[in-house]
Amino acid sequence: MSENEETPVSDEQQGKTLWGWLLSGFCVLFALGHLYVALFPVLSEFQRNAFHFAGFAFLAVCFYSAFGMHRKRGAVELGIDLFFGVAIAISAVYLTFAENAIYDRGVKLSNLDWIATIICVVGAIELTRRLTGWVIPSLIVLAISYVGFWGAHIDGVFSFSGLSWESIAFRSVYGDDAMFGSIARISSTFVFLFIVFGAFLIRSGAGDFVIDLSRAIAGRLVGGPGIVAVLASGLTGTISGSAVANTASTGVITIPLMKKAGFPGRFAGGVEAAASTGGQLMPPIMGAGAFVMASFTQIPYETIVAVAALPALLYFLSVIFFVRIEARRLRLQPMPSEGRTLTDALKSGGASFIIPIAILIGMLVSGFTPTYAAVVGIVAVVVSSWLTRNPMGIRAVLEALEMGARNMVLTAVLLCAVGLIVNVIATAGIGNTFSLMIADWSGGSILFALVLIALASLVLGMGLPVTAAYIVLATLSAPALAGMIADRFVIDAMAAGTLPETAKAIIMLEAPEALSLLSGPVERAEAAALVGSLPLEVSAPLRDLVVPAEVALAALLSAHMIIFWLSQDSNVTPPVALAAFTAAAIAKSPAMATGVSSWKLAKGLYIVPVLFAYTGLLSGDWGQMLTIFGFAVVGIYALAGALQGCLENPLNILFRGVIGLAGVACLWPYDQRIQIAGVAVTILILVINIARKPDPEAVRS
């Protein structure tokens, strides 16, 4: 679940010196402290968040030097780093005790308050530079300086009169969305506890069980090694939720297996990267995104993970389709059995994976908080491990706690630091302005808005980790997108002639020429054009009047889920494709070619969000959701065949075009008759394709 590309191991730790043991002990105690506070909330939320940042800031300077993680530090440099880390930690803790005095002085900062605030903010900037590069620190500096001085010197909608530096300093620490605010709360509770939960699963041997289970299920199918990679990455996603960590952990097994089966190295790496990206879409953990989404939307976490299950399955099926089709195109044969059976896999480590995950899901469904469920899940891992060949003793428990703390360093510092950017966006109203721009540029077209957001997410993904990209993009564009999705209800009501009279009056004030469109049923396209042309000061109250609360909430969830899915594309889309480049290193294939392959295989990242926007895949009843899911499965299979030029046998150019259109028809949201026709055409072409003998001169590539 951490976004670390690897677990940091400092030069001091490698030999387990006295310093290494002290650092390990601190990690264990710090993790235990989080577990204790989760069960017994003896600290206020602000105190917990500040202590959380303080501890991980100290660990960050211990694990990451100022000039590269693997650079060996001398005694002087290490001493300076430790002094810096201790100063940040003390400053963060001090600010928790200074809050009441600041309010008593009328929100005036003393000299000591100023020093502590500056150290925390500068520390967050420097630590994010060490951990993620220059993009996030640059954004923080730009954001703070924007509300401080240069925002007042620009013209247009982004002009901002500015705040005093004392107000900026106070809001940066004590604001609801600031360093120790809502996003830090997510980090100090849900995210860290689920990272520790994942560490316990890994230490219990659940990762090996996932690989064995996947090989037992799919290893002997055509394209089996690729399908193994997809299944293993999907299941590992319930442990890690990090595409890069997922790729690194399962890829060392699955990529050589795929190459041995005959897949080209670039395709094997692309499969692993695309499948691992799905790990962050896979309930019940979904990286940190599900927790941030629950905080932003105020929709219960258990609701989010419940409706996310079918889309995640759809994504993994889309990758499996590409793997199967490519295996048929290359005429690969099933690999011989290596003696692994489903029973063997379950006996060796099934209990330590299945029982805790089942308990976790059961508790979430039953209404327990994610925090409490995560703690119980951790205990369940330890207990259930004694039913496997890898029982966890005291040493294993301590190692898992240490691993969890180490894996959390990047995520904790990142989420707290991103609060500085989100705080400025909220303070200056940039999010509302950006949302207005998206609504204006898209002209009321949801599809065009999705293209704009996808491009923005790709640009942000070049410098931001997935969670940070989602947070920034959701803050900027989710309101506009949610409004446009909710407007579909207004359009449907107008097309059916069922708008309330008060709603018609609101429209007439802005567009009196629309009287003919409001007097009775009209074509949906005409209604959409009218609603899309309305300015915000008209469309917003119209939406509030016409759209039911549950529909508006569903639109909000759809908007955030769209942005969350699109934020994943930086893992698989060149020129910055972190998971694909990690897979390329394992596959020993060209990085950019592997990135292109992963981008092609991850088409579900772009197709499924369209379904979020135009259908009830997230918000309908289960019958409706399953129907949409069924049509989408056929549609994505058809599109995969069109893109790859093959189903069970190669397709000629005519059949590729027809089945591509059939795939689009299966996904068409407005007329189920068109969807049924698309399914029928797809099945017909598949039957013809199966009956057709493959060309013996076909070239394997």
Last-in-domain residue among 114, 140, 163: 163
* Assigned token pair, 466: 């997935």
Amino acid present at 305 = V
The radius of gyration computed from the CA coordinates of the chain, to the nearest angstrom, equals 26
Q: What is the mean pLDDT of residues 517-524?
A: 80
Q: For residue 297, tell me if it sits in a domain.
A: no
What pLDDT is recorded for position 605? 92
Residues 356, 380 contacting (CB under 8 angstroms): yes
Give dist(CA 633, CA 610) in Å, integer: 14
Q: For residue 488, tell me if it sits in a domain.
A: yes
Collapsed DSSP state (helix, strand, coil) of residue 43: coil
Q: What is the mean pLDDT of residues 169-177?
A: 92
Same domain, 23 and 125: yes
Give dist(CA 237, CA 245) in Å, integer: 9
Residues 468, 414 contacting (CB under 8 angstroms): yes
**Count of residues making up the chain:** 701
Same domain, 669 and 559: no
- Work out the percent of the chain whose per-residue pLDDT is above 90: 38
The backbone region for 133, taken as left when phi is positive above 0, alpha when psi lies in -120 to 50, beta otherwise, is left
Same domain, 527 and 639: no
Q: For residue 56, tell me if it sits in a domain.
A: yes
Last-in-domain residue among 137, 163, 189: 163
Q: What is the mean pLDDT of residues 627-653?
A: 93
Same domain, 558 and 626: no
Same domain, 148 and 76: yes
What pLDDT is recorded for position 9? 42
Last-in-domain residue among 128, 163, 198: 163
Q: How far is CA 343 from CA 66, 204, 486, 544, in A?
A: 50, 19, 49, 56
Same domain, 680 and 549: no
- The residue ranking higher by pLDDT, 401 or 496, is 401
**Alpha-helical regions (H) of 187-264:** 192-203, 206-218, 224-237, 243-261
- Average pLDDT over the chain, rounded to whole? 85
What pLDDT is recorded for position 586? 87
Q: Any idea what DSSP says for residue 700?
A: P
Give dist(CA 659, CA 636) in Å, integer: 10
What pLDDT is recorded for position 351? 81
Hey, how many other C-beta atoms are within 10 angstroms of the C-beta on 549? 8
pTM value?
Answer: 0.81
- What is the total count of domains within the chain? 3
Same domain, 30 and 125: yes
Same domain, 511 and 441: yes
Hey, how many other C-beta atoms are within 10 angstroms of the C-beta on 43? 17
End-to-end CA distance of the chain: 36
What pLDDT is recorded for position 543? 87
pLDDT digits (tens, 9 = 90+) for 329-376: 888 877 665 656 677 777 777 788 888 888 888 887 787 888 888 899
Residues 475, 426 contacting (CB under 8 angstroms): yes
Amino acid present at 670 = Y
* Assigned token pair, 215: 């090989």
Give dist(CA 249, CA 237) in Å, integer: 11
Same domain, 651 and 561: no
Q: What is the mean pLDDT of residues 253-276?
A: 88
**Alpha-helical regions (H) of 443-548:** 446-461, 466-496, 501-510, 515-518, 524-533, 536-546
Q: How far is CA 634 from CA 324, 655, 670, 672, 676, in A?
A: 14, 16, 17, 14, 10
Q: For residue 533, tell me if it sits in a domain.
A: yes
Does 190 score more than 60 pLDDT? yes
* Assigned token pair, 221: 């199918």
Same domain, 538 and 631: no
- Work out the percent of the chain whose per-residue pLDDT is above 70: 92
Q: For residue 49, tell me if it sits in a domain.
A: yes
Q: What is the mean pLDDT of residues 219-247?
A: 75
Does 7 score more than 50 pLDDT? no
Instruction: Identify the bridge partners of residue 65 per DSSP, sorted by sequence position.
Output: 68
What pLDDT is recorded for position 121? 97
pLDDT digits (tens, 9 = 90+) for 553-583: 999 999 999 999 998 887 887 766 778 888 8
Q: Any idea what DSSP says for residue 40?
A: S
Q: For residue 508, tell me if it sits in a domain.
A: yes
Q: For residue 646, tell me if it sits in a domain.
A: yes
User: Domain range holding 668?
Assistant: 622-701
Task: With cut-offs at 50, 70 and 90, classify the pLDDT of residue 692.
Answer: confident
What pLDDT is recorded for position 120? 97
Does 59 score more than 80 pLDDT? yes
Q: For residue 421, tell me if it sits in a domain.
A: no
Collapsed DSSP state (helix, strand, coil) of residue 68: strand
**Alpha-helical regions (H) of 133-205:** 135-148, 165-174, 182-186, 192-203
**Residue in the structure block whose two tokens are 């399955």:** 313
CA dihedral 515, 520, 522, 526 (to 10 degrees): 20
Hey, how many other C-beta atoms are within 10 angstroms of the C-beta on 250? 28
Same domain, 559 and 637: no
What pLDDT is recorded for position 239? 65
What pLDDT is recorded for position 10? 40
Q: What is the mean pLDDT of residues 519-544?
A: 82
What pLDDT is recorded for position 241? 58
Give dist(CA 356, CA 201) in Å, integer: 9
φ, ψ dihedrals at 5, nearest 5°: -75, -25
